[in-house]
Every structure is written in structure tokens, then in C-alpha cells.
Structure 1
Amino acid sequence: MGKRPCRRRATRLTAGALLALQISFIALAADGNAATDTANSPVAVTVVDPPVAAGPPAPRAVGGMYDVGVLETAKRYTRDLYRQATALREATAAHGARIWAETASETRGQEGLSPAQAQEGLTRQEELSGTQAQRELSEAQTQTQTQTQTQTQTQTQTQRELSEAREGAERRLPLVRLGHVQAAQRLKRAGLSWKSSGGCTNRKVGQCTSLEAVRTATVDRVIDLKHRSGCPVVITGGTEVGHAPGPYSHHEGYKLDIRPNRCISGYIKREYSYQRVRGDGAPLYGDSETVYARESNHWDILFR
């Protein structure tokens, strides 16, 4: 008799705990269905305390095997409920991630790009960037080459203008003269020599060979003739008296006589065209700047 009230009380407690667990499962199921529709929504777990039966206050329970069994059962079901809630939360998160991926895929599909097409577009963009860089490099190289060519042409033009200006200055300054000693030194340094049948340099004596008051341009051009031909050049007539007069004569410093030899004669006839025969019977060769007259024992040269 003494143990029946305790047994009945344990039975009521067990029934109450089972009822609370069933109510919790129903609430979890409802929350799970709601979470399926809304991604990443938290799952609430509600533990309902077992109802207390109405009636007179129960006598103080004496600890025994029935009370311990009810508590262990409640703890076990609570742990199971927590595990189920955790699994439901993870499943909900996975479902939300899947929905997000599907939404992103649909967005790409609406834009007309599949993942492969998107990757292909990125690759194409990189190729275009590389092509653009190569084109810019090629344009820069072309611009540099153009600038270099322009600079070269400018330098060539400048050198040509300087040369023409120097030649023009020589033509415009025919009165720049040298003394005999200065002219002879220039000729000697360039490998040329001069000879006089009278062994003298007096300008007023016809048997002498004088370079007094010869033009600087005349000396420079006879030196150039020696360098271009590679032949020996010996001057036998200068500014001394005894030559034909005139504005472009020996006396005015425009003409020199040189000794003929096979080398220099061949060079003149090869490099200069035949023009005509002079009044004294001497054949003429040359151009607009220089005239070579082949006299009996020398070449009479006019340097304009």
C-alpha cells in the first residue's frame, strides 16, 4: 500500500514527459517546414515543462529507482531533440546555399552567359588586352623609328647645307689669297710638290714658278684632285707673269699648271667629259667648275 502512490506518481510524470516531447516534435516539424521556405532562418527549440496534476500537494517523494528513471529518460530525449535540431539547422543552411547557387545560375542564364561562356569571355578579354599592349608597343616602336629617321634626315640636310655654304663662301670670296710660302707649305703637307724651270719663285719673272697671291680655293682644289686621283701631282706654273691675261687667269690666282703623267692624264680623261678644242688647239675636258686644257707639255687647269 505504501508504494502505490509513488508508482502512480512516477507513471504520471512519465506520461507528462512523453506528452511534452511529442508537443516539441510537432513544433519542430512546423518550424522545419517554415525554414524550408525561408533560407538561413534559425530553428527554435521549445521544451515544454510537463503539466502538474491538480490536487492536493503530493507528499514529499522519497528518492528511489522510479524518480531516477524518469529524469534519465527526460535527459536522453532532450539530447536527441538537440541533435535533431542541429541536423535540421545544417540541412536548412545547405538548402539555402543550393537555392543561392540556382539563383545565380538563373541570373547568368538570363544574361545569356553560361559558366563556360563567362570563362571564354574572360579569356577573350585577356587576349584582347595582350593584343592592345602589343599594338601600343608596335606604335611606339614605329614612332621611335620615324623620329630617328627624321633626325637622320635633318642631320644629313644640315651637313649638306653646311657643305654648300662652305663651297658658296669659297666661290663668293675669290680674293682670299695666300703667300708663296703658305701655299707651298699646304701643298707639301698634302703630298704635292712644285718645280720651277728657273729655280726661282719671283712672280715677276716668267721662268720662275710662283704661288704668290694664289687663291685659297685654288690650292684646296688641286689638293683634292691629288686625293681623288691618287696620282702624283707636280705644279709647274702659278701666278707668275708670262701667261694669258683675263679675269680667270694665272695672274688672278684661278689657274695652275701641272706636269702630265700617265696616271693623272688617264684620270682626267676618264672622269671628265671631252668638251671641245680651244683656240690654241688644246683639247678641253671638264665640267662647269673645272676645265682641263691639255697643252704640249702640261695640263692647264682652271678652278672657277
Structure 2
Amino acid sequence: MSPAGSFAPAASRSADLLVVGSMLSDVGLVRSINEDSVTFVVPAEGKDPENRSGILLVADGMGGHSAGEVASALAAEVVRRCFFELNGAVPDILATAFAVANKAIFDYGQSHPECAGMGTTCTALAIRSDKIWLGHVGDSRAYLLRNGELRQLSEDQTLVAKMVREGTMTPAEARTSEHNNIILQALGTAPEVNPDIWDDGLSLAAGDILVLCTDGLHGLVDDVVIAEVAGRYAPAEACQELIRHALQAGGHDNVSVGIFRAIAPPDPTSRAARDTRRIPAMSADADGGSTDRSTRQISAFEGQR
């Protein structure tokens, strides 16, 4: 498949674009375990533009007890590793990565009875040079905010979304349907999976903003608000603000979001000023962990590739 719909022209295209951003995940106000997983690796600055790659990913696990947490963590780790360890065209790599992740989760559930039936959504944006490709299973989402217009890149694989596409349910009916939580496929719930994967990449332009999130956000926060917050704040602040909106709206699910901006490369003469950057300190408890147990800032794989 290819990017659906028409997009405003990608002005100021450049293979030297930098991608900067942040991801946050919050347990929410109702659940005791966070079954979401997120990971990202941004393209390295200074490498050959044609070989610069990155990946942005959110996964929303399900399965009871801690099984959902296991499933989403497996998806994030396997897809990330496959993307950087395999060679070839991006769509082929994504297809293999999703297939390997699906098998890893399914096999783990088969060999661990307490995790039987576990699964996870998985929405990933792969970056190579100045283009992005989507890999997607489930109902987490990826968006592009360009010139003030927010476009959903992924297609919800849910029963109500399918009914809306077929014309048997209106969008208004879908928003209040009791079947909102029925997804049509997930990684790990069956021996095989059929992910949505773009055959063609979508060109990025300076100023573009990419948003990835689980349904704990988009199910409670309107797209208009997502666009306004993502466009107004720096990525880390925007993630915090969107999670705040989700919690204010009830926070009945885990909430995860990532926001990334494509920016033009700075003037080389300013490199000296960029070599040093200030990292704000995070408050920690006696064990060195965050004093806020419910929200975590993702840093595990932020090292540039």
C-alpha cells in the first residue's frame, strides 16, 4: 500500500533534514500496569544523507496480568533490532520485522501459559534519507502535521473503523459505539499477521511534525487538540501537555505519545555552539529512579544511528 489521500506539497525538501523529538508513556489513572511500549532512534547527524535511518514506534499490549507489557516490549525490541540489522528496501525490512515480531510474541505465548493469547498493536514510522514509511497493525496511530493540517497516516484496524469505511456506521456513531475496543488484528495473537506497510515513502519537509500515539490518547483527546498542542510546543513539552489532556479526560487507559519535528540542518558555522547542550535534571528518589512512578521519559534507544 501507499500513503492514502493527497498531501500538501513537501516544500524545502532536503536529504539533510534533522529529526528531533521525544516520547512519553503514562500508566493513566485507572490501571496499575503500563502495557504500552515506545522506542525511537533518530537518524544520525553528519552521516551520508542517503544512508541515514531512524525508527519511531508505539505499541499497546493486551492480554491480562503483565502479558500485554511483555507483548508490546517484544514488538518494540524486535522491530527496532530488525530494522537496523537487515539490509534492503525499507518496505521489505518492515515486512520482515513485523513478521519476526509476530512470531516472537506468538511463540512466547505458546510456551508461557500465563501469557497465552497476548498481543499488541504496533505502529512504526521508518525514516531513510528524507522519507518515511509506515508499518502498522491495530489501532495505535501515526499522524503528519504539515502547514497546520493534521493528517492521520495509519488506518485504524478496528471493527467500528471498518464499518465507517464501508458506510454502515457514521463517524459520530463510531465515537460512542460500545464496540470501540474491538481490533481486527494484533501482533502475536495468530501465527500470521497482515500489517499495513507502505510500498512508497512519503517525503518530509522542514517544519513537518510527526505524531505517534496509542488509543489512550487519541481515544480521549480530539485531533484538533493534538494538532494545536503538537504545533505550539517543543516535542517534550507537547508530549507532557497531551498526556495531561488525556488524564483530564479520564485517563482510563495507558497513554503514550511521541512527537518529532523535521528541521533544516543548522549553519555549519554554528557547530561549536551545538556541541554542548544542557540536559535538564530529573528529580530522583533514593534509588535513583524518577519520583513520579506513573510517567516515564523514554531514553533507552535515543542514541543516533
The TM-score bracket by the shorter chain reads under 0.3
Higher percent of residues as helix = 1
Higher percent of residues as strand = 2
Asked which structure has the greater RCO (Cα within 8 Å, sep 6+), the reply is: 2
Question: Which has the higher Rg, Structure 1 or Structure 2?
Answer: 1
Relative to the length of structure 1, the TM-score reads 0.17
